[in-house]
Structures are given as structure tokens and as C-alpha cells.
Amino acid sequence: MNRIDYIGSSDARDIMSGNWLELYNKKMGLVEEVDLSDNFKVQLGIKTELFHLEWLHRQLEAKFPGVYCMAFGPDQFGKDQFFMTNGSDECILGSHPDAILTEPSYTRTLVEVKHSGTFKSLDELCDFYMPQIQHHLYVWQADHLVFSAIRGNEPPAQIWVERNEDYIEHYTALCSIFWEHVQSASEPPTDLGLEPLPQKTFDAIKRDGMVRRNISTDNHAQVLINQYKETKEASEIHAWAKKEMKSLMKPDESELYCDDLVLKRNKAGSILFQQPKKERA
């Protein structure tokens, strides 16, 4: 199937970000496909993909012996085997995951691998590619996807991302509206006026089995945050003073004392602080 005949995972971020005009021009064949053969970053990602997947497979086998196995295509990484479509005749979504993990129970877990610089954390990369991740999960009707990223020359690190129905409902609705423009050959407006994805929905996506929560309206949390900010500088000064006080004690001294503070070295060699109780007059 030709890429202009469906919405692919690489289109998902444009759909969610509202970059519809550029995507529309691509689908309508109004612009030439960008030649990325001389793009170093793109080619580096392509060249390291096989190594990345093999490394990930070994790590998973070591962690879950005999449970997971990579499902490769006839040419080991023939993505055509992994192509699947979902949706109606009016709006077809297609997916080429990088690989698939299978279990004895035939449960499928999709795999998406990336190679990036170190300027973004693994969590930030996962968030950036979330439209693509949820796109894959929707098309394959899968519950989990392993997102694995190489940052610079660091070993690959993974986040297990779960399918989120509210996110997918929002995303597929946008896909349908966009595809109506393609079918009717009507250029989408620059100002789409679309409702953004609620932050609460994005936070509810489980990453490694955990969710996020916005505490901006939690009164108790706000009190604690203010106290944290107000006492942070004092606590840092306190920690610095303790460190400096400890440096005053010589190796052959077991105690430093004055009326306000006593430093004692215990048998383990640790220096303890005590404030003498003031006698009442």
C-alpha cells in the first residue's frame, strides 16, 4: 500500500500537533518526498536499528528467559510482515512497528526504537513520540509497546507504554477530520480551531505501570511546595555548615564542644551533632 493512501505512524505527530497543511500536501502529492539519504542523523538511526533490536532482544531474554521472542520478517527485519491497517474505508490507518514481542500465550507487545542525542531524557523522548506509540497500539489492537531509545552513545533504555483509550479516541477523531480534507481535496485551514488533548488524558497514559498527576489545585500540596521553596536555601546552608563543622575535627579528636553544640565521633567513625539542653534559671 502506498504511503499516500493511509495515515501512518510517522504522520501521527503532525496530526496531533495540527501540522495538517504540510501533511495534506504530502498526501496529495503536491510536494516531492524529501531525500534523506544524505541526512546523517536519519541514516545513523537506520544503520543502528538492527543492532538496537538485537541488543534489546538479548536484554529481554536475560530478564524474562524463555518468555519473549522477537518476531522478525523473512529478511529478519522485513517490515512488510508487520504492516497492519485499521479503520474504515474513509480513513485507513497503517502501522509498521520496528519489531514485535510474542509470548507463549500469543500476547503481542510492539517495539519502537529510536536513536537520539542526549539533550532529551528518556521520558521526554517517550512523550515526544507518544502520538506514534498510541497510533501503533490502536492499529494493532495491542495493549503494550516497548519504547527503547539510545541517547548518544549510552546503552538503550526502555519504557513500557500502555494503550490509552481516551487518547486514541481523541487521535482517531482528528485523523477522520484530516482525511476528509484529503478525500474532498480541500486544503485544511491554517487555524484549525481543534480542541487540544486534555493534559489529564496525557498524564493518565501508563508508563512502566505508573501515571502522572497534576497537583496545581491540591491546596495541601501547594502549602507544602511553598514551605519547600521557602526553606530550601536555609536547608542548603544548614547542610554546608554541617560539612564544614565536621572538617574542623582532627583525626585524633573524639569531641568538639561548646555551650551551643557538641560534635562526637562514635565507634564507627561517624560524627554526630548534639545540642545541649539549656538549664532553666
* CA-based R_g, the chain, Å: 28
Are 81 and 73 in contact by the 8 Å Cβ rule? The answer is yes
Share above pLDDT 70 across residues of the chain, in percent, rounded to a whole number? 89
**Which single residue is written with the C-alpha cell 507504554?**
161
Domain ranges of the chain: 3-203, 215-242, 249-281
Type of residue found at 114:
K
Indicate whether 71 pLDDT > 70.
Answer: no
Q: What's the pLDDT score for residue 279? A: 61
Q: How confident is the model at residue 74 (pLDDT cuts 50, 70, 90)?
A: very low
Q: How confident is the model at residue 89 (pLDDT cuts 50, 70, 90)?
A: low
Sheet holding 69-71, edge to edge: 69-71, 99-102, 108-116, 144-151, 157-162
Q: Pick the residue with more confidence: 252 or 44?
A: 252
pLDDT in tens, 173-221: 999 999 999 999 999 998 888 889 999 999 999 999 999 999 999 999 9
Tell me how far CA of residue 67 lies from CA of 105, 149, 175, in angstroms. 10, 22, 36
CATH of 3-203, one of 3.90.320.10, 3.30.1310.10, 3.20.20.70, 3.40.50.150: 3.90.320.10
**Phi/psi of residue 207, nearest 5 degrees:** -120, 120
Q: What's the pLDDT score for residue 179? A: 94
Mean pLDDT for the chain? 88
Q: How confident is the model at residue 124 (pLDDT cuts 50, 70, 90)?
A: very high
Indicate whether 222 pLDDT > 80.
Answer: yes
SS (H, E, C) 237-267: HHHHHHHHHHHHCCCCCCEEECCCCEEEECC
